[in-house]
């Protein structure tokens, strides 16, 4: 384990003025508090805080952050209190430790509603002091490095949470090295076969071609040296997960994939960057469409560099990044660059951007109050995407995430402009509102008085800001209709557990979901943004849907071994009474399909994974979900009457989504919880006979059917990875 003297020596290398006494006291205090505690690996628990502090010291962080790292688990896991930490190390450190403690308690892999609520809390904590997040990210990195000592289910949970939240957050903080390592460590847990395959192919490629990295580094060094420039040249093979992602996105074989190797040329000044770019393009053929100038147009996290891909030695494509030393520091440290020290002084980097500015602008746009789900969606959209830069007719630059459309551009200018948008011109040519924008395009938005956002715009928009504004407008416009529909949906859901809808119950439900009042809760139910079943579960977590049936969902399939669990395929949604077959997935149970499910064609060469299963012959509980597609007349009371009809047939509406809304009709998908296929046929017959129903059918989606874990495992099997 790293000793206190080792840690102080590491800090003094970049900060000779460090308070060595405070670091030593924090080390001794943390060691005392964690005495007798051990990690699952058997190591003393204090090895973890020390390694987190070491990670932050390698990023040249200040003393307060390093002391926080040494103490970050003391308030949560030991007898130490906030006041004790404050008395010994100051309020600043105590506040930081308390902030990290609160982040640690957030369950970001819990149910979707709770996850969104906790994610908002994470972002709020980040906006108050970015160092809290820096400690938490380093904490997560060390935990992922040592994750193999945890139980398998916990490994998968933490790996998925890391892939979904912490890795993209690190990327948004500009800490690309950390993002890549977090993704790769999570990938190793979620799809070990896929990662092993990438590594095997790398080894085979090196045997065939030799050490390509050293060869190309030599070529670049010779080129730069001949021009009289001074440069630091680095080269590496990209991380397995980065390559895997490219393989999936481009649907190419490994042998045809470019950008397996990445190189950096770090020079003294900006002028030298462009000079090196010219030398490289003179020496090797540039790949069209693969040049990016992030110096003149920096990324939103402060990243600056020139990117180009060339056909280098032996016609192998390589990516080259060219930047100055200051740009390189930001690219390597990201948010940590704003807190970095050199020779005891806080170092000013002209290119470093404080991510708290992004967070502040985000919270200002979406509001501190409001819908947690929309906030979660918006932040994830902004974390996961790169940016494009477009221009207004007046030459103002509008930054948007890659994949953004003209609708996003309009709302990025102002909500009023977006709401009144009727047409758009890109480079002077009229194009549809859903047109995806590219770098450098000039965009003109045409507005009209009286125009209001349309429901179809939600699918066109790619940014959280636009989606949130459109949903808000739709809710306000259709509020009364949604409240009436929501009350009917609530009535059916409450009756399913033997309860009645009362004003008090609705008010309590609104508070549970952080909504201002009962009307807002009903509006969310009616607009299908909140499932009625989730409201009932929140109020009555111990109650189950009333049923006189004998067979529970867990015991409804015969032919499984005691240690096998099953999941109904989302692609075909099998019901009792239908012929079924089971497909096994290693580590994630069995998926049940109907015998005529098109998905089964992909398993015809893997008969060892087929299981002969059947439904239990007894009566089943009404917990089997099926989706129907429904087109009904847009008239007063029609929707409520249809919901009542379904309820009278003893089925529970578990989900409802509007697919199309026109002045004279609605098309929607309705999720039903039913007992068996016979009950479904009764419902379809009754609906088809209704004069206000234009069409009704069972909805199936062959593209669905696997969880994220099963998708990762299945992709590895099917491709041979």
Active-site positions read 76-77
| Residue 456 CB-density burial (10 A; 0-12 exposed, 13-18 middle, 19+ buried) | middle
CA distances from 168 to 241, 415, 654 (A): 14, 27, 32
CB neighbour list of residue 674: distance below 8 Å, 6 or more residues apart: 575, 622, 624, 626, 651, 680, 683
CA distance linking residue 302 with residue 326, whole number of Å: 11
CA distance linking residue 490 with residue 532, whole number of Å: 6
Q: Identify each DSSP E strand in 601-651 by its residue range.
A: 610-611, 614-615, 624-633
Dihedral sign computed on CA atoms, order 376, 540, 588, 581: negative
Contact by Cβ (8 Å): 518, 506: yes
Q: Give me 360's structure tokens.
A: 């502040």
Q: What is the enclosing helix (H) or strand (E) of 556?
A: none
- The b-or-e profile of 522-546 (16+ CB within 10 A means b, else e) is bbbbbbbbbbbbbbbbebeeeeebe
- Between strands 557-558 and 580-584, the pairing is unpaired
Of 264, 254, 131, 155, nearest to 199 by C-alpha is 254
Of 518, 528, 517, 413, nearest to 475 by C-alpha is 528
Contact by Cβ (8 Å): 481, 525: no
CB neighbour list of residue 569: distance below 8 Å, 6 or more residues apart: 591, 592, 593, 594, 597, 599, 705
Contact by Cβ (8 Å): 96, 162: no
CA distance linking residue 399 with residue 681, whole number of Å: 51
Dihedral sign computed on CA atoms, order 260, 382, 164, 672: negative
CA distance linking residue 301 with residue 399, whole number of Å: 12
Q: Give me 416's structure tokens.
A: 């009023």
| 11 CB-side CA count, 13 A | 29
Q: Give me 686's structure tokens.
A: 């009754």
Of 337, 341, 332, nearest to 349 by C-alpha is 337
- Between strands 317-324 and 261-267, the pairing is parallel
Cα separation of the two ends of the chain: 37
Contact by Cβ (8 Å): 133, 125: yes
CA distance linking residue 595 with residue 108, whole number of Å: 37
Of 203, 207, 216, nearest to 264 by C-alpha is 216
CB neighbour list of residue 24: distance below 8 Å, 6 or more residues apart: 4, 8
Of 293, 289, 319, 318, nearest to 304 by C-alpha is 293
DSSP state of 56: H
């Amino acid at each position: 384990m790293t000793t206190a003297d080792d840690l102080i020596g590491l800090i003094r290398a970049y900060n000779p003025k460090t308070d060595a006494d405070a670091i030593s006291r924090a080390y001794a205090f943390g060691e005392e508090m964690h005495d007798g505690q051990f990690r699952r690996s058997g190591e003393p628990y204090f090895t973890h805080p020390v390694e987190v502090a070491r990670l932050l010291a390698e990023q040249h962080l200040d003393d307060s952050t390093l002391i926080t790292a040494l103490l970050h688990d003391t308030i949560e896991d030991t007898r130490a209190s906030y006041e004790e930490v404050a008395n010994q190390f100051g309020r600043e450190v105590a506040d930081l430790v308390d902030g990290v403690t609160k982040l640690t308690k957030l369950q970001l892999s819990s149910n979707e509603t709770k996850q969104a609520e906790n994610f908002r809390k994470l972002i709020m904590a980040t906006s108050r002091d970015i160092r809290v997040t820096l400690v938490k990210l380093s904490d997560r990195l060390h935990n992922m490095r040592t994750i193999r000592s945890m139980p398998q289910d916990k490994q998968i949970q933490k790996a998925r949470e890391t892939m979904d939240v912490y890795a993209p957050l690190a990327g948004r903080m500009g800490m690309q090295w950390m993002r890549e390592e977090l993704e790769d460590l999570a990938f190793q847990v979620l799809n070990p076969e896929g990662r092993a395959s990438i590594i095997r192919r790398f080894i085979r490629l090196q045997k065939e071609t030799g050490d390509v990295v050293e060869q190309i580094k030599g070529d670049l060094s010779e080129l730069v040296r001949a021009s009289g420039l001074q440069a630091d040249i680095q080269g590496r093979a990209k991380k397995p997960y980065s390559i895997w992602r490219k393989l999936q996105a481009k649907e190419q074989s490994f042998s045809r994939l470019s950008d397996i190797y990445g190189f950096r040329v770090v020079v003294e000044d900006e002028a030298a960057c462009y000079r090196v770019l010219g030398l490289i393009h003179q020496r090797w053929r540039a790949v069209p469409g693969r040049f990016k100038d992030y110096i003149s147009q920096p990324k939103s996290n402060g990243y600056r560099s020139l990117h180009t891909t060339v056909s280098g030695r032996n016609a192998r494509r390589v990516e080259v990044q060219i930047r100055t030393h200051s740009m390189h520091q930001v690219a390597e440290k990201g948010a940590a660059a704003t807190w970095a020290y050199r020779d005891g002084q806080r170092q000013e980097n002209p290119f470093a951007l404080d991510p708290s500015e992004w967070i502040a602008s985000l919270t200002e746009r979406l509001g501190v109050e409001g819908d947690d789900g929309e906030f979660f969606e918006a932040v994830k959209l902004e974390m996961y995407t790169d940016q494009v830069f477009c221009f207004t007719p007046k030459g103002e630059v509008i930054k948007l995430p890659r994949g953004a459309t003209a609708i996003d551009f309009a709302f990025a200018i102002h909500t009023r402009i977006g709401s009144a948008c009727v047409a758009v011109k890109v480079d002077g040519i009229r194009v549809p509102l859903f047109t995806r924008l590219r770098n450098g395009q000039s965009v003109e938005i045409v507005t009209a008085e009286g125009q209001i956002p349309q429901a179809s715009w939600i699918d066109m928009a790619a940014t959280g800001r636009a989606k949130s504004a459109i949903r808000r407008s739709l809710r306000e416009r259709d509020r009364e209709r949604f409240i009436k529909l929501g009350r009917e949906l609530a009535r059916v859901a409450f009756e399913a557990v033997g309860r009645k809808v009362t004003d008090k119950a609705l008010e309590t439900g609104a508070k549970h979901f952080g909504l201002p009042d009962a009307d807002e809760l009903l509006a969310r139910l009616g607009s299908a943004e909140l499932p009625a079943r989730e409201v009932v579960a929140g109020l009555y977590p111990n109650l189950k849907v009333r049923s006189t049936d004998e067979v529970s969902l867990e015991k409804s399939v015969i032919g499984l071994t005691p240690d096998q669990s099953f999941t109904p395929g989302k692609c075909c949604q099998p019901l009792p009474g239908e012929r079924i077959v089971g497909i096994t997935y290693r580590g994630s149970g069995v998926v049940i399909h109907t015998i005529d499910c098109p998905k089964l064609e992909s398993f015809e060469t893997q008969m060892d994974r087929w299981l002969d299963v059947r439904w239990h012959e007894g009566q089943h509980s009404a917990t089997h979900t099926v989706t129907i597609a429904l087109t009904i007349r847009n008239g007063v009371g029609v929707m409520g009457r249809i919901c009542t009809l379904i309820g009278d047939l003893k089925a529970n509406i578990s989900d409802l989504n509007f697919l199309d809304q026109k002045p004279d009709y609605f098309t929607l998908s309705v999720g039903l919880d039913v007992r068996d296929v016979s009950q479904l046929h009764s419902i379809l017959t009754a609906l088809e006979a209704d004069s206000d129903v234009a069409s009704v059918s069972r909805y199936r989606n062959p593209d669905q059917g696997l969880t994220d874990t099963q998708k990762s495992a299945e992709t590895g099997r099917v491709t041979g990875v």
